[in-house]
Amino acid sequence: MVRVMSGIQPTGALHIGNYLGALQNWVRLQGEYEAFFAVVDLHALTIRPEPETLRRAIREIAIGILAAGVDPDRATLFVQSQVPGHAELMWILSCFTPLGDLNRMTQFKDKSTQLPELVNAGLFTYPILQAADILVYRAERVPVGEDQEQHLELAREIVRRFNGLYGATFPEPMPVRSTAPRVLGIDGEAKMSKSKGNEIGLFETEQETWEKLRVAKTDPQRLRRQDPGRPEVCNIFSYHGYFSDAATCAQVDRECRTAAIGCVDCKKLLARNLEAVKGPIRERALALRADPGRLDQILGDGAARASRVAEETMAMVRERIGLPKAGAGHG
């Protein structure tokens, strides 16, 4: 069975960009492929979170993944740091990654200009750990948003270099894009992102979301209620495309253009359809929070399953590059 692998960082609460760009596809793919989904806590260390904040975020992200519909009977859900193969393979792959390749990574450039005080070696080598996450399962498909495609391109480069030297070891992992590969934030300008503060949280209440939608940007040329709107440039209309059915989208399109509805009407309709998706996710998350033992069990089983596969890969890698077997004496 072909494998898929993907991960989310525990660096803040999940938002609808994560849901639309990645999680929805995780749920869709879990039946068709052998799926490995990770809370990538080692990646989160690059921003040096407080230990208690990190501990809580790891559990909250796992809860969000399950609440969004990932089924632990059909997919392996685990915490990255509990599977040692990720960090071990990362070291090995870093010896096959030219600095020039890392220098080209736009996320590193963006993050290091945003937070210059946080530039550390981990942030620079981050994409190699991401490659290791995928390759340690020899995964062929990676459901992610558009912002991760450059990292996947690097992973494929690493695969080609490694396979060229040691024979076919890893498949080249390909991204799986969702229908919403780049969801904009409520500012209507930048990608929705935990670090930009322009997100709609997946666990937010209806009221919290409404407060944000109420002031969210629409067509900048529609200044008065009676002005006709242009849905094609309105970010709120793009959200309708994700959460409202085709008939509603067509109606909003028509009534916005003729000024039959105003921006507030359009936002109210969106708020209702958004809540129809978020409400059940919030409910499932509540149930999961109330049963911490069950979450421990799911993540424990997941780590054990993931470790078995990762260990198979690592045995093969060690053998090919000339390292001794793990834990074996040197005889």
- The answer to the question of residue 182 lying near ligand TYM (CB under 6 A) is yes
Binding span for ligand TYM by CB under 6 A among 191-199, 215-223, 226-234, 296-304: 191-199
Give, as ranges, the residues between 161 and 180 that touch ligand TYM (CB under 6 A).
180
Closest approach of Cβ 134 to ligand TYM, in Å?
A: 5
- The answer to the question of residue 313 lying near ligand TYM (CB under 6 A) is no
Give, as ranges, the residues between 227 and 286 that touch ligand TYM (CB under 6 A).
none
- The answer to the question of residue 43 lying near ligand TYM (CB under 6 A) is yes
Beta bridge partners of 37: 6, 77
CA distance 37 to 289: 19
Task: Out of 41, 60, 88, 133, name the contact with ligand TYM by CB under 6 A.
Answer: 133
Give, as ranges, the residues between 135 and 154 that touch ligand TYM (CB under 6 A).
142, 144-145, 147-148
296 burial level (CB within 10 Å; 0-12, 13-18, 19+): exposed
Q: Which is nearer to ligand TYM, 88 or 133 (CB)?
A: 133
- The answer to the question of residue 7 lying near ligand TYM (CB under 6 A) is yes
Closest approach of Cβ 249 to ligand TYM, in Å?
A: 19
Phi-psi region of 298 (alpha: psi -120 to 50; beta: other; left: phi over 0): alpha
Binding span for ligand TYM by CB under 6 A among 13-21, 201-209, 210-218, 310-318: 13-21
Q: Which residue is nearest to ligand TYM (CB)?
A: 21
A 10 A CB-CB count for 238 gives 15
CA end-to-end distance (rounded Å), the chain? 36
Active site residues: 111, 191, 194
The answer to whether 22 and 6 have CB atoms below 8 angstroms apart is: yes
Task: Out of 4, 5, 70, 314, name the contact with ligand TYM by CB under 6 A.
Answer: 5
- The answer to the question of residue 62 lying near ligand TYM (CB under 6 A) is no
Task: Out of 4, 21, 81, 237, name the contact with ligand TYM by CB under 6 A.
Answer: 21
CA distance 210 to 185: 14
Closest approach of Cβ 145 to ligand TYM, in Å?
A: 2
> What is the chain's Cα-based Rg?
22
CA distance 79 to 7: 9
Phi-psi region of 151 (alpha: psi -120 to 50; beta: other; left: phi over 0): alpha
Torsion of CA 276, 277, 282, 283, to 10 degrees: 60
Task: Out of 3, 4, 17, 24, name the contact with ligand TYM by CB under 6 A.
Answer: 17
- The answer to the question of residue 201 lying near ligand TYM (CB under 6 A) is no
Distances (CA, A) of 290 to 155, 182, 203, 286, 321: 39, 33, 15, 6, 47
Q: Which is nearer to ligand TYM, 14 or 256 (CB)?
A: 14
Q: Residue 301 is which amino acid?
A: D
**Beta strand 75-79 pairing with 141-143:** unpaired
Q: Tokens at residue 75, please?
A: 């997919």
Task: Out of 191, 268, 272, 305, name the contact with ligand TYM by CB under 6 A.
Answer: 191
Task: Out of 24, 76, 97, 130, name the contact with ligand TYM by CB under 6 A.
Answer: 130
The answer to whether 237 and 266 have CB atoms below 8 angstroms apart is: yes
Binding span for ligand TYM by CB under 6 A among 116-124, 190-198, 239-247, 261-269: 190-198
Closest approach of Cβ 327 to ligand TYM, in Å?
A: 26
User: Where on the chain is the footprint of ligand TYM (CB under 6 A)?
Assistant: 5-9, 17-18, 21-22, 40, 43, 130, 133-134, 142, 144-145, 147-148, 180-183, 191-193
